[in-house]
Each structure stands twice: as structure tokens, then as C-alpha cells.
Chains A and B, each alone.
Chain A
């Protein structure tokens, strides 16, 4: 059981990282970003191409992957989000689902719909933590997540971070003090894409990955994590991710292996989500209902 717990934390860390990006966009722009997973997808495939296909050093893959993700974020902001600024949130949401599907299609078109294996950032055999074999890659993931969470908390105390919050609260007032709404929009999407890219680069080497892997396996738990955390709380999203990861894996162990219930992981997540939303509708760290 300890092994499942440990695995849950590491898997949850990726959910948390993706969820932090989702919350960032929601907090700033009140938009549910369904394309968040594909920022990671693009980063992972770009890095794979650079490292495996071209044989370039790993750091080039990381920089190139993140650059590709940020470029995608800025393009989405310019081509999709800004023209739809005053459209209904439903239209925006559907458009962003479209972005995710379109991106997956492009990746399939450029590469092949085959599983790939990304070499890990750090080689080495697994460490034994609570009986689970934890790869160095997964430890890096956890460390990166902690650093990012701290960086985000610090960011929202700076003038620039305050400007992002201010723009989300009252765009007109933000303009009146001289904050450019376009600059803020670019910044937020660039940062969200960077976070998504980091999630993709950290998750891809953990197993095999296929086009759409981030959206298909990561996005829904990440959204659940964001909601669990309160949708506007960055630490909440982080905690929510860990909680989802742990409950998923404990569900597999307790319900799946012990009681032979099918779909145990999903069942556990939905039970957790239901429970939290019933008892604390504002989420774990959310401020308002």
C-alpha cells in the first residue's frame, strides 16, 4: 500500500503542475483552458525530435521544447483567445478544445501515431521509497514542482503579478492606471504554456508517450485537481493534484486489487471530488463559493 501511496504522489505532481497552469489562466482570464495539456504535448514532441531524431544534447531538447510550448501559447493567445475576448465563455471553451484536437492532429501528421520513449533526464535505477521504485526523473519532477509553486506564490506579490490579478478583477481600471490588457494577456498565456511545457517534458520520459498523451491521460485529472483546490488557488491546485494522484492509486490498490472493482482509479477520483464539493463547495483552498 505504501508503494501505491508513493506512486500517487509522483503522478499527482504532474496533475498539479498542469493544474497550476489551468488555474493561472482561469484566475487571470476566467477561461477554462482545454489546450493546457497540449502545451506539454508540443514540448515533449519537440524535445524528442531534437534529442532523439537529431541527436542534439538534452539541454537543447529542453530549451527547444519549452520554446515550442511558449510559441504555441503566444500563437493561441493571438489567433484564438484575443479575437474571442468578448465572445461567450462557452465559445472560448469549445475553441480551446479545438486547439487541443488540432494540435494533436498536427503532431500525428508530422510524426507518426506510434508510441515513443523519451530518454530520462537523469539515468539511474529507481530508489526504493515506501516499497515503490521511484525513478530519479520523478524526484526531479517533485523538486521542479516545489520550486515552481514557490515561484508562482512570489510572482503574485510582485507588481507584475498584482497587475495580472488587477486586470482580471477590473479590466477598465487596469487600463486606467496604465496596464496594457494585451501585454497581460500575452504574459499569462506565455506563462501557462511554459508550465504546461515543463509538465510535458517531465512526464514524457516516465513511460511511453503517444500523440495526445497529455490531453487524454492528464487533462481531466488536472482539471479535477484545479477544481478540488478551489479553481483560483495556485497552492490549492498543487495540493489538489497530489490528492488526486494519491486517491487514484489508493483506489487501484484498495478497490481494484483487494475488492476487484473495475475502474477503481476513476471511482476514487470522482468520490473524492464529490466529497470535497459537497463539504467545501469552494474547494480546498478556494476563497469563495
Chain B
């Protein structure tokens, strides 16, 4: 049984439907990628999974049970979103941002410390910038902080929304490598991307168009799919 199973999911903003029946499944421990162009419904899917948007139809099952509850309750269950546009706390330091990432486990000091060590190991740059205000970091550093903050609550399923947005190819590569490392250390990852380069490291890939999944398969197969190549790699 997959860790996350989404069946015929419908959701949207107020009376504007965006998702018209999304089906996908993410296995525990895997690195899954949800690929699609602007407006396809990728972010809407992640926000609905994180509890920021209501489900209007269909079902989300997580760890075998129907998923519901507030965004905070889902963080406690291990579902953590790294939102599009980073959304770090600009006037707090890097250290304080990370500390708030551990909000749901804040009473477990040992675990917070352990997670902080782990984040420093993956993103040594954040260590160097510990006392700097997050708003003064570069785009790449802010993205690392957003992912690091997400790691602080010991997530089981990390949802990463367009980590490569606005980053140089080199930085994008670094961020993808960090996500790969996080996944290898045992966290299940579902990434939303427009950058098909990420498919190389994906176990599973889903392509989304107009609120539906149109292609799904292994990362490698999807990378070699003619329609996908035409749409995302210009080949």
C-alpha cells in the first residue's frame, strides 16, 4: 500500500474548480515528481494535500486512512509543505526560521537538536548564515532555508513546490541534489516542477494538464516520453 493515495481528487479556490479528478499514488520512501505547466493545478494539488485548500470531491488517503484536519494536524502527522515562492519569515534569522520549523515538535528538545544537525549537514550554507535575517538571503539560500525548515519537524512526506523557480541552473542542480539526499535518508518526497531535469532522479513521475494527470510512470520512462519531451524539453 502506498503512503499517499489520491483518488479522483477535486479542489479549487472558492467556486473556481482547478482539480478535476486527480489520481496519483506515492510509495513510502520514493521520490515522486509532479510535472506540469503553469496553471495545470500542481500547486493546488500540494496545497490541498497540506490542508490549505478544502477537498470538494474524491479522497486523499495517507498511511491507510482518509486524510483530513487542519494544516497543523497534518504537519503533526508528518505531511509538510515547502511552499512555492519559499515563504521564509523575512524578519527572523535563519536560526529562528529553523526553530519555528520544529513548531509541532518543540517540546522534544532532543529531536529538535537532532533535526537541526541533520539540516546543517545537508545545507552547510545555512549554518554559516545562522544569525542573518532570512529576508537578506539570496534566492537559492532562501530555498534551502525553506526546505531545511520543512525538515525540522521530521516529516514523513515532504511536499516541495517548485524549488527551482527563479534559480540558476547551477543552483537548481544543488537544490535537486539536496532533495535527493533527503529522500535517500528516508523521507518520502513529492516534488512539483516545471523543470523536467528533475525526472532523472525521480522514481515516479506524473504529468498534469488542466487539473488531471495525463501521464504517469517511472521517472526514466516519462523522461523518454515523446509528448513530455516536446512539452518540457523542447525536443
Contacts and interface: CB of A to CB of B under 8 A. Distances in A.
A82 interface: no
Contacts of B89: 165-166, 169-170, 173-174
Given A173-B89, A175-B52, A180 B100 contact: no
B87 interface: yes
A177 B103 contact: yes
Identify the interface centre among B83, B96, B100, B101: most chain A CB within 10 Å of its CB. B100
Given A176-B80, A180-B70, A159 B103 contact: yes
A175 B72 CA distance: 7
Main DSSP-derived SS at the A contact region: helix
A178 B104 contact: yes
Nearest to A180: B72
Contacts, number: 66
A165 B149 CA distance: 16
A273 interface: no
B92 A169 contact: yes
Among the interface residues A172, A173, A176, A178, which one has the most CB atoms of the partner chain B within 10 A?
A176
Chain A contact patch, size range? 10 to 19
B71 A178 contact: yes
Contacts of B39: none
A176 B155 CA distance: 12
Contact of A162 (B76, B81, B87, B100): B100
A185 to B, nearest CB: 14
Interface string A131-170: 0000000000000000000000000000100110110011
A172 B87 contact: yes
Interface string A173-196: 111111110000000000000000
A169 B82 CA distance: 17
B209 to A, nearest CB: 26
Interface string B150-184: 10110000000000000000000000000000000
Contacts of B80: 176
A162 B92 contact: yes
B91 A162 contact: no
B91 A165 contact: yes
A176 B149 CA distance: 10
Given A162-B99, A173-B83, A178 B76 contact: yes
B153 A178 contact: yes
B202 interface: no
Given A175-B72, A177-B75, A166 B100 contact: yes
A159 B149 contact: no
B106 interface: yes
A173 B100 CA distance: 10
A175 B103 CA distance: 10
Interface of B: 50, 52, 70-72, 75-76, 80-83, 87-92, 96, 99-101, 103-104, 106, 149-150, 152-153
7 cross-chain pairs, A with B, having the tightest CB-CB distances, nearest first: A178-B75, A173-B87, A178-B72, A178-B104, A166-B89, A175-B71, A169-B89
Given A166-B92, A176-B81, A177-B101, 4 more contacts: A170-B88, A173-B87, A173-B89, A174-B89
Interface of A: 159, 162-163, 165-166, 169-170, 172-180
